[in-house]
Amino acid sequence: MTSPHTIVFDLDGTLVDTAPDLITALNYVLDREGLPPVPMQSARNMIGAGARKLIERGLEAEGRTVTPSDMDRMTADFIAYYAEHIAVESRPFEGLEAALDHFAAQGHRLAVCTNKLEWLSKRLLDQLDLSRRFAAICGADTFGVQKPDPAIFRETVARAGGEVKASIMVGDAGTDVGVARRAGVPVIGVSFGYTDVPIAELKPDRLIHHMRDLPAAAHSLMTARASASH
């Protein structure tokens, strides 16, 4: 039996397939600016760095730039619309809840560390009945820093009541691998998320293609850590 760990998850593209609702909100904002919608498939990999960056990428796809004040207005419009339509089509990835059940039964702590705003993250997880599973849900505004700054990871683990030296990051993109490397913890990459660089190229410690494989991947990292410390 390995000692209890804190399993820290990214949100968008890792826990939940949020792309449909995020892209709908993006296209709502673009439509208000008289711009054509971005296709769902190409827009998936624009997700992951927050609302403002998503809008910037959507505008870049049209070769458009806007003033900072226009960007502020568009970001506010996006967040207002998205908050009201946050879980229309967003769903947990297949196998997620069974994996979370497994970790809980083993006595591990679960936490969320995302570059989404904290209140939006909680609203989404509340609507999907997932919030109760996590000891901490921390976003880009919780501590004033974003991934890959390791402070957000360390503070998330602390808020969950865990220890960094007994924690694992699970994510789908470069910010997740980056925050884990900077915090000095192992990272499991998921291949089904949103990233402009394929996660395999970022060389996570383990790579999974379905949530059913997560418990085994996490256990192998815990076992490796335990044997390395003896």
What was the pLDDT predicted at 1?
52
* CATH 3.40.50.1000 domain span(s) along the chain: 6-17+91-228
Q: Is 10 a catalytic residue?
A: yes
What was the pLDDT predicted at 49?
76
Q: What's the rounded Cα separation, in Å, for the pair 2 and 162?
A: 15
Q: What's the rounded Cα separation, in Å, for the pair 169 and 74?
A: 32
Residue with tokens 């998205």: 82
What was the pLDDT predicted at 51?
84
Q: Are 114 and 140 contacting, i.e. CB atoms less than 8 angstroms apart?
A: yes
* CATH 1.10.150.240 domain span(s) along the chain: 19-85
CATH superfamily entry for domain 19-85: Putative phosphatase; domain 2 (1.10.150.240)
Q: Is 70 annotated as a binding residue?
A: no
Sheet strand arrangement including 6-9? 136-138, 109-113, 6-9, 167-171, 187-190, 206-208
What was the pLDDT predicted at 177?
98
- Cα distances (angstroms) measured from residue 72 to each of 23, 26, 29, 56: 18, 14, 12, 11
Sequence letter at residue 137: I
Tell me which of 10, 17, 21, 205 is the catalytic residue.
10
What was the pLDDT predicted at 45?
81
Dump the DSSP string for 140-183. TTTSS--TTSHHHHHHHHHHTT--GGGEEEEESSHHHHHHHHHH
pTM for the whole thing? 0.94
Alpha-helix runs per DSSP H in 172-213: 174-183
Which one-letter DSSP state was computed for residue 10?
A: -
Q: Is 126 annotated as a binding residue?
A: no
CATH architecture entry for 6-17+91-228: 3-Layer(aba) Sandwich (3.40)
Phi then psi dihedrals of residue 196, to 5 deg: -80, -20
Q: Is 205 annotated as a binding residue?
A: no
Sequence letter at residue 71: M
**Dihedral sign computed on CA atoms, order 137, 142, 147, 151:** negative
Binned average pLDDT, 10 residues per bin, the chain of 230 residues: 89 96 95 90 81 89 88 95 97 98 97 95 98 97 96 98 97 97 98 93 98 98 86
